[in-house]
Chain A
Amino acid sequence: MSHGGSTKQFFQANRLSRSRARGASHGRESRLRPVLLSICLVWMAFGQSNAQAGVQAGAPIDLEALRGRVVYLDFWASWCVPCRLSFPWMQSMQDAHAADGLTVIAVNVDRERAAADRFLQQFHPQFDVRFDPEGSLAERYKVQGMPASMVIDRHGVVRFTHIGFRPIDGAIYERQLRELLAEK
């Protein structure tokens, strides 16, 4: 992917320099370019500052201590509507399989604790809830959508990664959990 990207970048750089050379003869073009470039700089400023936000050192999940158990690591937020489906499901998984070795850890990524607390008051989860307001854990585990979950087997290997939670996913994910719980 990076090779394809740099070819495109080279191609674009050449096109930019060629059109700049022709720029003088196109009055409307030359008026537009500074405007577009300044818009571009503003966009970049925003984009850069936000892409870097939250990349800080944070305490990772201590998977060593959980060796021997199957871990369902979930990332959720109060503003994540599908999380309203995944929470009851995670609770029922905890209830059904904790004795067999399942540990559910739900990491919250809300910036404000109050919003997370309101959500928790509605669902009263009995499983482990952690808080990651800076997003450093989410960054470390490369969350690519919300909600996101990783299923880690008894040897600490990430076996499944899920993005999103739809009504039909509960049954499919449970099958995966049973599969890993059956392993020794």
Chain B
Amino acid sequence: MQLKPRVRRPAGPDMRRRLMAASCALLGASSARSQAVAGSGPAPNTWSIDTALAYYHEDGRIQAIEPVVNVLKDFGDGETVGLNLTFDALSGSSPNGALPSRSVQTFASPSGKNLTDPSKLYTTAPGQLPVDPHYHDQRLAGALNWQLPLTRVTQATLGGKMSYEHDFFSVSGNVSIAEDFNEKNTTLSLGVNDEYDTLHPIGGTPVAGSDYTLFEKTAGKTKNGAGVLLGVTQVMSRRWLSEFNLSADRFTGYLNDPYKIISIIDAAGNTTGYEYERRPDERTRKSAYLENRVGWDRASAGLSLRYMTDDWQIHSETAQLHLRWWIDSQDKYFEPSLRWYRQTAADFYSPWISAANQNSTAYASSDSRLGAFHALTFGLKYGEKLADQGNSAGGEFSARIEYYQQVTDGHFDAPGSLQGLDLVPGLKAILLQIGWRF
């Protein structure tokens, strides 16, 4: 709020503008704060509720149902408080990390203590990917977010998250600050976050790298993560908004998946045993993210690119495109989307351990999430405005479907009898979602 007439800013000569734009481009602008320009969002001093129900189904594997609710209070002066609650329930079959075999395989559920109690066992037929058919998990997560304007051009954000599952508990906090420049055409943001997780795996934490049949278990574990994000948002033109972020995070502690094992395979292709996976106790990741939004009268498009690299030697590229088409005088829309993703394998990823190397203490994991693969997502969303409920922003109903497919990259030289088997089959999944905003 000004109490004095504003001083006129002198216009610069053309040459100066060209040089400055050039130096600006050389450094590459980027930003992290969402452009909450005096426009979108609920009417000031009101509540808005955003809910969604998602159903996820993997072909022959996991299914999940996930209701989410987000409540936002806008105080009208730029200050907002938001609460998010998410619940999800998963069930179905989850790969346990072992390799398919030409013979029947028998495993114990995580709560099992030996391979003799029949109530805790499950078997895998020859040629099939070993999966735990009784996998189930429920998660309840909450997040609180507080945005506070410090000046007309500075905004601070404080957030906290908590997530609870019967074998995992996570708590994290984040703080960020954003500053506007150039009549709010440029916004610089800096944020940090910290996370603390505790794990109490069912049946106890297995000793990493130990023989599966010995069922050596220990107490609960913890892991800690910290991250930093630096970003710039730049209004490029009346139709084009760009955001560029650089971020890095580092996790230390127990980073293994306590339920994953690796098959030990001899030269003939027989499974001679299993051992629990062992991952490093530290992981540092860096990523660069670029997002662009372009708008026209009845349509808009978004393109985002992300490159990530970490010290486990995983590199990934993500590209996401979506187009929104408004129909029927901006009350209804369709939004097709496409996502392409590719990652390289962690340097300690291996679908199996050869019997000759089984006594090595090197890191090893057969978790397909650490392997090399590419993935495609095709999505279609439909949305329509609901009749005005008094809240000037209006409500919206939306429905969305997505098809996700992961395809393994690379070729594995399967020894002996394993030849001809699909050792790392990939994944196909569908997501259905409906949502309401009031």
Contacts and interface: CB of A to CB of B under 8 A. Distances in A.
Does A touch B (CB under 8 Å) in the complex? yes
Interface string B304-346: 0000000000000000000000000000000000000000000
Nearest to B1: A162
Interface stretch (A60-68, A75-83, A91-99): A75-83
A57 interface: no
Given A2-B12, A6-B16, A12 B23 contact: yes
Given A53-B238, A167-B77, A146 B38 contact: yes
Contacts of B268: none
A158 interface: yes
B47 interface: no
A50 B21 contact: no
A24 to B, nearest CB: 18
Contact of B236 (A16, A33, A47, A85): A47
Given A1-B10, A84-B392, A85-B45, A166 B23 contact: no
A162 B4 CA distance: 9
A12 B19 contact: yes
Given A81-B38, A84-B392, A166-B78, A5 B16 contact: yes
B19 A160 contact: no
Contacts of A82: 38, 44, 76
B75 interface: yes
Main secondary structure of the interface of B (DSSP, over half): loop
Interface of B: 1-6, 8-10, 12, 16-26, 28, 38-41, 43-45, 75-78, 152, 183-184, 236-238, 240, 392-393
Main secondary structure of the interface of A (DSSP, over half): helix
- What class of interface size applies to chain A in its complex with B? 35 or more
Contact of A44 (B2, B21, B28): B21
A160 B2 contact: yes
A71 B343 CA distance: 63
Nearest to B149: A166
Contacts of B3: 160
Contact of B152 (A49, A145, A158): A145
A84 B43 contact: yes
Interface in A103-145: 122, 142, 144-145
Contacts of B41: 81
A161 B76 contact: no
Contact of A47 (B2, B4, B6, B237): B237
